[in-house]
Amino acid sequence: MSSMPAKFCNVRVAPLLAVLALGLCGCGGAGRVSGTVTRDGQPVRSGVITFVSKDGKGTALASIKKDGTYTAASVPVGDASVILVNAMEEPDFTAPVSASEAAKPSGKRAAPPKAPMVIPEKFGKPETSGLTLTVRSGDNPYDIDVGR
């Protein structure tokens, strides 16, 4: 039969030890990476950024927004290669339309979307991008300039 102080100690200490063990084993090994993608100081307005774990734990993707910013959640911690590829820029359907533009016959084609800021092809492969990052748990700021 165990004593009352021993039971009290086990009830209080067991959850604390479990939390410490989880923290030490590296469980929940993911970070969040965010930043801005630019080319020659101007925001890249579309594209996809991928973080490829060098130890094979996985990948994480993020879309580049019109202002050049991105956020990738659940990026595996550790060393990662970074690749970027072009994507078509989405048209802005919220922009105001003039009365003369609205009066045009509906059979006419809409203007094509603006050409995206081109990300050079070398950034599309881990072997040639030259971009690497050591991801840690929590927030990881990472700005990228593809103008080089």
For the chain, list the domains and their CATH numbers: 30-143 (2.60.40)
| Among the ranges given (54-58, 86-90, 91-95), the one the predictor scored with the smallest mean pLDDT | 91-95
| Residues 6 or more apart in contact with residue 84 via CB below 8 angstroms | 37, 44, 47, 48, 49, 50, 64, 119, 123, 124, 129, 131, 144, 146
Least confident of 14-23, 75-84, 130-139: 14-23
